[in-house]
Amino acid sequence: MHDFSLPIGPVNPSIKEPACIQLNLDGNMIKNAKLNLGYAHKGVEHLLEGKKIEQALYIAQRICGICSFCHSNGFNQSIEKILDYDAPKRVKYIRTLVTELERIQSHMLWMGFMFHEFGFETMFQYLLRDREHVLQLFERVTGGRVHHAINKPKTVRYDLKKQDITFILEKMDLLEKQFKKYFGIIKKDGVTKERLVDVGLISKKRAKRFCLVGPTARASGINNDIRDKHPYDAYPYLDFEVIMRKKGDAYTRLIVRLLEVLESIKIIRQLMKGLPEQKIPEAKLIFIEKGMSTSQVEAPRGENFYFTTIKNNKVDRAKIRTPTFAVINILPTLLENRPVGDVPVILHSLDPCFSCMERVIIVKDKKREVIDEHTFLHKYCDHHH
Amino acid sequence: MGIKKEVLKNLLKRPSTSKYPGKEIDPEDRFRGKITFDKKECIGCGLCRAFCPAECITLTWRKKKFVVRGVEHQKIIHPIHKIDIGKCIRCGLCVDVCPVDCIWFTSKFELADKDKKKLISKM
C-alpha cells in the first residue's frame, strides 16, 4: 500500500472556519496528523492595548460570535476586581441569565452541526429551528441577536421588564419539552450510536495531561466547572448540578452538552424566581490610574481566562486564554489510527472555534522571562494598591 | 419512534419560516439597528468620536454666530459629519455618551450593500 499525505483545509475543513489538518495516510487509516493554525489571526490583544476601558469592553466581546457575552463578562469582571466593586444582586442575576442563555444557544448550534457532520440532517434542522427561540429572547432582552452589548462597567445596559420574565419562562417550557424529546431520539437512534460511540476516546489521565477544559473535560470525568469551583456573579446563590460522565468519547460529549442545556433551563427558572426587586445603577464613566487583575468565567466551551493591566485609564495589556485553544491541542493524537471518515466527527466533537483561539507567542532573542505576580507588581504597577 | 412522530406532526403544520422580503419583519424595541444622527442639534462636543471603539465617526466644522451684549460674535464648532456603517459595531457608546441625545438607534437592519461608499450615513 502507498503512503499518502492528505491536506484538509485551509478552506472550510468540514467547519466554516479556516484551519489546515495535514494527514499522513496508510490506505484509509491515518498514521499521524498535524494541525496548522494561523489563518484567522485578528490581533485582538494588540487592538485592546491603548483603548479606554469602555471601548475595550465592546472590542473584547467581538472576539467570538457565539460566546460574545462571556468575553465581555470576563473583561468586566477583571475591571470590577481592580475597582474592588461588588455589583448589586439584580445586575448579577441579569448577567447570569445572559450567560446561561448563551450556553443554551451555543450547545444547540454545536449539537445541530454535530448531527450535520454525520448526515442526520433532520435533527440539524430541528435544533436550528428551536435555537431561534433563544435568539428571540436575546433580541428582546439585550437588543442584539449575536453581539449583546448589555454589559457595562459596574452595571448593565437594560433592566428586565415584567413581561420579559413571563416570555422567558414560556420559552424555557417549550425548550425543555423539545429537549426531552431529542434526548429520547438520541438514546435510541442507531446511526448516532454507530458513528459516535468509541470515537475520539479521551481517558481521564489524558484529559489531565492535555489540560482540557469545559464540557470536553467533564465528559472525561474531570470537574473543572468555574461556576462550581470559583463561583462568580449569581452562581453562589443558585442550586445546580455539574454534569459529569466518565467514558470520554464523542457520544458522551453529546450527552453531557445535552444535559447541560437542561441544567441551564433549571438555572434560568431559579433566576427568574429569585430575581430581587432593585433599581439597577446608572452607568457612569470610571477612572483607574493603575491596576492589574485576573478573572475567570465559564463560557459555553470552558474556562475563559482574562489577565488585564490598566495604566492611566487605558488598557496596557490584555492576555486572553480561550477554552478552544486549550481543547484543540489534543486533536492530532485523537486522529491517529482512525479512518479518514472520522475526521469531521472527531474535529467537531471538540467544539472548535478558530476565530477565538488564534494567538501569537513572541520569543525575543530566544529568551524567556518568567514573571510571578510579586515581581510583576514591582516592575509594571509600582503604585498598585 | 420519536423522529417518526415529529415528521408526521410537521406534515400537518404550517412552515415555521416566514416569506421574508415580501413580509415585513418588526424588530423588538431594544433592537440596535442602523445609527442615525441630527446634525442641527449637535453641539460639537466630540465625545462620540472620542469614545467610538471602531473609529467610524467623522467630525466637520461650522461657524456659529452668537450675540453677547448686542455685539455679534463668531466661533467654530465641530459637529458630527458622517458615520461609516461598515465599520460601526453597534456597541451604543456614542448613544449613551451624547449629552443632547442627537444620536440614536433605528430599527433598520437591512444594511448590506455591494458598494462600500453607500454604507456611509450622512444627514
Domain annotation for chain B: domains and CATH numbers? 26-122 (3.30.70.3270)
Residues of B in contact with A158 (CB under 8 A): 30
Residues of A in contact with B7 (CB under 8 A): 122
Other beta carbons within 10 Å of A209: 12
Residues of B in contact with A128 (CB under 8 A): none
Structural domains in chain A? 48-357 (1.10.645.10)
Look up the ipTM and state it: 0.86
Chain B contact for A36, CB < 8 A? no
Share of chain A above pLDDT 90, in %: 56
Instruction: Tell me which residue of A260, A312, A264, A272 sits closest to A291, measured CA to CA.
Output: A312
Average pLDDT over residues A180-192: 89
A279 phi and psi angles, rounded to 5 deg:
-95, 130
The C-alpha cell that represents B3 in the structure block: 423522529
pLDDT tens per residue across span A327-345: 888 888 999 999 998 998 9
Q: Name the 3-class secondary structure at A6.
A: strand
Instruction: Provide the pLDDT confidence category of residue B19 given band limits of 50, 70 and 90.
Output: confident
The answer for A 190-209 residues in CB contact with B (under 8 A) is none
Is the pLDDT at A15 greater than 90, yes or no? Answer: no
Instruction: Provide the pLDDT confidence category of residue A364 given band limits of 50, 70 and 90.
Output: low
Helices (H), ranges, chain A = 44-48, 53-60, 68-83, 89-117, 121-141, 162-188, 190-196, 204-209, 214-218, 226-229, 250-273, 323-328, 331-335, 343-349, 354-357, 373-380
Top-confidence residue, A273 or B21? A273
CA distance A249 to chain B (A): 24
Which of B28, B31, B93 minimises the CB distance to A58? B93
A323 phi and psi angles, rounded to 5 deg:
-65, -30
Instruction: Provide the pLDDT confidence category of residue B110 given band limits of 50, 70 and 90.
Output: confident
Amino acid at the residue A133: H
Residues of A in contact with B25 (CB under 8 A): none
Taking the CA atoms of residue A214, residue A120, residue A168 and residue B5 in that order, the dihedral angle to the nearest 10 degrees is: -140
Yes or no: say if A29 and A107 are a contact pair by the CB < 8 Å rule: no
Q: What is the pLDDT of residue A258?
A: 93
Amino acid at the residue B113: D
Q: How many whole angstroms separate alpha carbon A5 and alpha carbon A25?
A: 6
For chain A, what is the radius of gyration of the CA atoms?
22
Residues of A in contact with B51 (CB under 8 A): 52, 54-55
Counting beta carbons within 10 angstroms of the beta carbon of residue A263, is it exposed (0 to 12), middle (13 to 18) or buried (19 or more)? Answer: middle
Among A10-24, A70-84, A153-167, the range scoring the smallest mean pLDDT is A10-24
Yes or no: say if B3 and A189 are a contact pair by the CB < 8 Å rule: yes
Top-confidence residue, A373 or B112? B112
Is the pLDDT at A375 greater than 70, yes or no? Answer: no
- Best residue in A55, A148, A160 to probe B by mutation, most B CBs within 10 Å? A55
Other beta carbons within 10 Å of A175: 22
Residues of B in contact with A59 (CB under 8 A): 53, 89
Q: What is the pLDDT of residue A111?
A: 93
Top-confidence residue, A359 or B91? B91
Share of chain B above pLDDT 70, in %: 98
Instruction: Provide the pLDDT confidence category of residue A359 given band limits of 50, 70 and 90.
Output: low
Chain B contact for A341, CB < 8 A? no
Average pLDDT over residues A355-372: 61
Amino acid at the residue A331: L
Chain B contact for A181, CB < 8 A? yes
| Helix (H) / strand (E) containing A315 | strand A314-321
- String of DSSP letters for A106-147: HHHHHHHHHHHHTT-HHHHHHHHHHHHHHHHHHHHHTS-SS-
User: Searching chain B, which residue's CA lies closest to the CA of residue A283?
Assistant: B96
Instruction: Tell me which residue of A58, A51, A33, A145 sits closest to A98, measured CA to CA.
Output: A145
Average pLDDT over residues B68-96: 90
Average pLDDT over residues A263-277: 94
CA distance A48 to chain B (A): 10
Other beta carbons within 10 Å of A85: 11
For all residues of chain A together, what is the average pLDDT?
88
User: Searching chain B, which residue's CA lies closest to the CA of residue A282?
Assistant: B96
Chain A contact for B51, CB < 8 A? yes
Q: What is the pLDDT of residue A385?
A: 45
Among A32-46, A53-67, B95-109, the range scoring the smallest mean pLDDT is A32-46
Average pLDDT over residues A46-74: 90
**Are the Cβ atoms of B30 and A140 closer than 8 angstroms?**
yes
**Are the Cβ atoms of A149 and B32 closer than 8 angstroms?**
yes
Distances (CA, A) of B97 to A311, A328, B49, B78, B91: 22, 41, 10, 16, 12
Average pLDDT over residues A284-311: 92
Which of A51, A157, A181 minimises the CB distance to B53? A51
Q: How many whole angstroms separate alpha carbon A128 and alpha carbon A113?
A: 9
Yes or no: say if A292 and A384 are a contact pair by the CB < 8 Å rule: yes
Q: What is the pLDDT of residue A384?
A: 46
Yes or no: say if A62 and A70 are a contact pair by the CB < 8 Å rule: no
Q: What is the pLDDT of residue A236?
A: 93
The C-alpha cell that represents A363 in the structure block: 520569543
Chain A contact for B3, CB < 8 A? yes
Q: What is the pLDDT of residue B86?
A: 87
Average pLDDT over residues A56-61: 91
Is the pLDDT at B31 greater than 70, yes or no? Answer: yes
Among A28-37, A330-339, A341-350, B14-23, the range scoring the smallest mean pLDDT is B14-23
Q: What is the pLDDT of residue B117?
A: 82
Q: How many whole angstroms separate alpha carbon A288 and alpha carbon A284?
A: 13
Average pLDDT over residues A87-98: 94
Among A46-55, A249-258, B8-17, the range scoring the smallest mean pLDDT is B8-17
Chain B contact for A316, CB < 8 A? no
Residues of A in contact with B32 (CB under 8 A): 143-144, 149
Chain B contact for A161, CB < 8 A? no
Is the pLDDT at A321 greater than 80, yes or no? Answer: yes
Q: What is the pLDDT of residue B123?
A: 63
Distances (CA, A) of A279 to A83, A91, A155, A161, B61: 21, 9, 11, 12, 41
Instruction: Tell me which residue of A82, A63, A133 sits closest to A319, measured CA to CA.
Output: A63
**Are the Cβ atoms of A55 and B53 closer than 8 angstroms?**
yes
Instruction: Provide the pLDDT confidence category of residue A2 given band limits of 50, 70 and 90.
Output: low
Q: What is the pLDDT of residue B22?
A: 86
Handedness of CA B33, B38, B42, B44 (dihedral sign): positive
Instruction: Provide the pLDDT confidence category of residue B21 given band limits of 50, 70 and 90.
Output: confident
